[in-house]
Amino acid sequence: MKQKVAIIGSGNIGTDLMLKIVNGSDRLEVAAMVGIDPDSDGLKRAAALGIATTHEGLDGLRRLPSYPEIAIVMDATSAKAHEAHHPVLVADGKHVIDLTPAAIGPYIVPAVDISDHGEAAAVNMVTCGGQATVPMVYAVRRAVDRLIYGEIVASVSSRSAGPGTRANIDEFTQTTARAIEVVGGAERGKAIIILNPAEPPMIMRDSIFTLSQGGDEGRIRASVADMIERVQDYVPGYRLKQDVQFERIGDNAPVRISGIGEVSGLKTSIFLEVEGAGDYFPAYAGNLDIMTSSAKAVAEHWAAGRAG
């Protein structure tokens, strides 16, 4: 039997998530689609698919007859709305997957740490840039003795950056940087986001640069290749765009890293491309696709645990 889930938020992210589950999950069933705008495209599509809907937000969800059977709730609203939803859902005994930048629950990046969290009360999906790059940071971390620094640049098409991201761009960089440290295992993390307005829109690109000590190039290369495959399990359009590049930073020309001081070591450069599956978003919006794909992967993992 499929595990029933509810999606709160009938905007772009929520709708793409719904379509991903409807079209491609043998473990999950969308039992409710929750919005606040009865005219939203997401609620209309849900109704057309025979999914129970409400435009009365969380209160509406809690009144639905199927609510007691729903174990997992995925929140694709906003950080502010999620802060209000979180305590209610947890008190109701739901397992919460938060796709907003609220970051109340611990960060989760499926390829790195999905089994560490079991079926947690609540997890947070970091950011799109975090989902794309933290697996690579961790891939270097596990192949070396010391991962001093991880830096990422996420370039996304202007069209795929919504008003929420634009109004709070610091939330993106700070949350991603923290996840590079907490989940990726770097002593110091830095994140940069670039919006590119080119037409036709560019496919999401991510570059990862690390500085490490006590590892060799062959082990790093193999670890990266393995991790790429792990992410591809749930994000098919996740690709290594170039061979992994290496550069020795010698003691004669160390780099000065904020919070660490002058250090030397091995610089690793990893260049990725993330193409979306095109469920609801166009394929260039790999940044949005990797969020919904990762959230779906977490819900499926939990559902598999329940099925025993």
Please list the active-site residues: 128
> Measuring CA to CA, how many Å separate 10 from each of 16, 17, 169, 264?
9, 10, 22, 48
* 8 Å CB contact between 231 and 135: yes
Nearest to 207 by CA among 141, 270, 161, 162: 270
Structure tokens at 54: 């409400």
Q: Kindly state whether residue 240 participates in binding other proteins, applying the rule CB under 8 A.
A: no
* Binding residue for other proteins, selected from 6, 102, 125, 211, defined by CB under 8 A: 211
Q: List the end-to-end C-alpha distance of the chain, in Å, as a whole number.
A: 12
* Binding residue for other proteins, selected from 67, 138, 209, 302, defined by CB under 8 A: 209
Count of residues in the chain: 308
User: Taking contact as CB under 8 A, which single stretch among the options 71-79, 80-88, 89-97, 199-207 is the one that binds other proteins?
Assistant: 199-207
Specify the residue, 56 or 273, whose C-beta has the smaller distance to other proteins: 273
Q: Kindly state whether residue 267 participates in binding other proteins, applying the rule CB under 8 A.
A: yes
* Binding residue for other proteins, selected from 92, 121, 142, 174, defined by CB under 8 A: 174
* Binding residue for other proteins, selected from 173, 175, 212, 293, defined by CB under 8 A: 173
Cβ 255 to other proteins shortest distance, Å: 4
Specify the residue, 90 or 153, whose C-beta has the smaller distance to other proteins: 153
* 8 Å CB contact between 142 and 114: no
Q: What are phi and psi of 266, to 5 degrees?
A: -105, 125
Cβ 198 to other proteins shortest distance, Å: 4
CA dist 253 and 234 (Å) reads 41
- Which residues is 265 bridged to in the sheet? 249
Q: What is the CA angle 160-157-235, rounded to 5?
A: 70
* Binding residue for other proteins, selected from 23, 198, 250, 252, defined by CB under 8 A: 198
Specify the residue, 66 or 245, whose C-beta has the smaller distance to other proteins: 245
- List of residues contacting other proteins (CB under 8 A): 151, 153, 155, 158, 163, 166-170, 173-174, 190, 192-198, 202, 205, 207, 209, 211, 241-243, 245, 255-258, 267, 269, 271
